[in-house]
Amino acid sequence: MKTLFSRIIDRELPAQVVYEDEHCIAIHDIHPVARVHALLIPKKPIPRLSDAGSAEQELLGYLLVVATTLAEKLGIAETGFRVIINNGKDAGESVPHLHLHILGGEPLGWKHGGSN
């Protein structure tokens, strides 16, 4: 069964895309916890960070580089941004497809944890 994010990647569900390349897609979060809140999603369906192995090492590094590119595009790179990966239910993960939350656009306290 496809995840919500796989359905967005396959254009079966609408989303506000802010970045896309052959490896990943970035969309605006529909339940933002900060003024700027985007989700960076690899197109390869990895359920969660703890399921990633050495075969995903290059992709994981790539996602962190793209996170900075995305922060620049969203206008939050200079003032600061946060990157969050939730891993498992207790961490707030609700979609079993690895993704990075990119938060910024305001001073961030610890309440800006991100979910999904």
Whether 99 is a known active-site residue: answer yes
Report the alpha-carbon distance of residue 70 to residue 63 in Å, rounded. 10
At a CB cut-off of 8 Å and minimum separation 6, what does 113 contact?
A: 33, 84, 92
Tokens of 2: 């496809």
Q: Which of 37, 97, 99, 101 is catalytic?
A: 99
What residues are paired with 68 via a beta bridge? none
Active site residues: 99
